[in-house]
Structure 1
Amino acid sequence: MNIKALFSAASVFFLLSFSASTSAQSLYQDLGELEGIDQLNERFVINLVEDRRISHHFEQTDLARLHQMLTEQFCELAGGPCVYSGDDMVTSHTGLNITRSDFNALVEALQLAMDDQGIAIGAQNRLLALLAPMHHEVVNR
């Protein structure tokens, strides 16, 4: 292998490695880092309690703690420095009888909060993709 081909292969490997290692970090940055994620979840929690389709699920909820746990969770998922300290999703949602419609309303509330925050669609989609696997842990528990 000549030096030019070796350099090209090394460059491609470096770019792929750099891209893979920074994709989560860039989501954290795209969400506005910890301050932006905190603001996002403030708006998200307001949307949840104002949505008459699902507000009943939050009547007995400590909203300050919900806000804190969502911020930790989103921060960690997005590749930030946070560590989620809440219960797992199954434990948190067992017995709440959350339906698919409830879950969809929650996702809409999050999307509205992200729109209000001015988060780019690509970043919204990346966050939603990280949260989507939780559907089976939340619905009808």
Structure 2
Amino acid sequence: MNAFKLTLLVAVLAAGSAFAQPQPDDTLYRQLGGQSGLVKLTDDFMQRLLADPRMNPFFKDTDQKEFKAQLAAQFCEVSGGPCQRKGKDMKTVHDGQDITKSNFNALVEVLQQSMAAQGIPFTAQNRLLAKLAPMHREIINKH
């Protein structure tokens, strides 16, 4: 192959790689058990939210099927999975619910219990919580 063809080939390959989409990191998604693991997690989480006297008032009248579907999609999306949550933003969803920092922390505690019960490694639990934590600004609406 002459130098011109080699240079042209290198240029074409370089241009093609410049437009390639980076592959998402789905490591956390896989550590959470993929879609089936997220379904199990959200099922367990919903049961625990309803059983917890601190959380029950917020969730007793919730459409459980829709809540679990939205939550599983949200967990999937933030963990690098192939999902995208659709629906209202977090601020709109939680508006008027008088959610305090204490309420938010109680929910996180229940989520940690659910993750532990599902055998999710502690490091994966921490990674998911770190991705969800910034949402507190949109959820807490009573100080």
Q: Give distance in 2, aligned partners of 1:136 and 1:75.
A: 21
The count of residues paired between Structure 1 and Structure 2 equals 121
Letter in 2 for 1:93: H
Q: Give distance in 1, aligned partners of 2:50 and 2:83.
A: 25
Identity %: 47
Q: Give distance in 2, aligned partners of 1:92 and 1:61.
A: 12
Q: Give distance in 2, aligned partners of 1:112 and 1:55.
A: 16
Q: Give distance in 2, aligned partners of 1:94 and 1:76.
A: 23
Letter in 2 for 1:128: L
Which residue of structure 2 lines up, in the alignment, with residue 48 of structure 1? Answer: 49
Q: Give distance in 1, aligned partners of 2:30 and 2:59.
A: 29
What are the Cα deviations for residues 60-85 of structure 1, in whole angstroms up to 9, with x where unaligned? 21011100000000001111111101
Which residue of structure 2 lines up, in the alignment, with residue 82 of structure 1? Answer: 83
More helix by share: 1
2:26 partner SS: helix
Give the CA deviation at 1:21: 5.3
Letter in 1 for 2:45: F
Letter in 1 for 2:89: D
Larger Rg: 2
Structure 1: runs of 5+ lacking an equivalent: 1-19
Q: Give distance in 2, aligned partners of 1:123 and 1:96.
A: 30
Give runs of ≥4 in structure 1 deviating > 2 Å: none
Letter in 2 for 1:80: G
TM-score, with length taken from structure 1: 0.82
- In the TM superposition, 1:28-67 aligns within 5 A as 28-67=29-68
How large is the Cα RMSD of the aligned pairs?
A: 1.4
Q: Give distance in 1, aligned partners of 2:38 and 2:99.
A: 25
Q: Give distance in 1, aligned partners of 2:130 and 2:27.
A: 15
Give the CA deviation at 1:59: 2.2
